[in-house]
Amino acid sequence: MRVVTNIPITIGKGLTGISWGEEITEDQKQFTKKLFENTSKIYEFAEDYLDIFLALTSSGPAIIALIIEALSDGGLSGGLPKIISEELVMEMILGTICLIKENKLTTSELKNLVTSPGGTTISALRVLEKKSVRSALMESIVSASNRSKEFR
């Protein structure tokens, strides 16, 4: 078997991906799941999917931390104290996630809710598109997945 977890497992908010070998018994599967069920959501995958799972969920927290840091530095550049700017960014991210989940919105629907013609949001999104941020984020996951495959 192969098990992949992520750092939020340390606070009971983790994600665990498991791939079972052919000789693993049902009792062994249940025992393994029991080890992780109190600290993470468990996802069972074919072995081929664990590399992308790892890239998204295990490398992802560092990518999100970088995004939080960059956004809060933007607030700092606008004159906010660093600690306030970081707090605002983290609360905004938590609130955004809750809004998407509770209202069952797609990310595109949420983006459309806050983007008005000629407004501040479309101005910010335009800069991100010009700088290929979306592509860079996608490529970072592909790169992490490819690197994971090298360790097998």
Tell me the DSSP string of 29-40. Answer: HHHHHHHHTTTE
Compute φ and ψ for 40, nearest 5 degrees.
-160, 160
How many domains would you assign to the chain?
Answer: 2
pLDDT for 152 beyond 90? no
Rounded Cα gap, residues 98 and 54, in angstroms: 24
Is 129 domain-assigned? yes
Whether residue 2 contacts residue 50, with contact meaning beta carbons closer than 8 Å, is answered with yes
Is 101 domain-assigned? yes
pLDDT for 138 beyond 90? yes
pLDDT for the residue numbered 111: 97
Q: Tokens 């927290």, residue?
A: 61
Compute the Cα dihedral for 81, 82, 84, 89 and give only its sign: positive
Domain of 145, in residue numbers: 60-150
Tell me the whole-structure pTM to 2 decimals: 0.91
Mean pLDDT of 98-127: 98
Is 23 domain-assigned? yes
pLDDT for 9 beyond 90? yes
Does 141 lie in the same domain as 83?
A: yes
Residue 8 confidence class, pLDDT cut points 50, 70, 90: very high
pLDDT for 103 beyond 90? yes
pLDDT for the residue numbered 91: 98
Does 77 lie in the same domain as 13?
A: no
Tokens (6 digits) for 7: 């750092």
Does 129 lie in the same domain as 76?
A: yes
Pairing mode of beta strands 40-44, 14-19: parallel
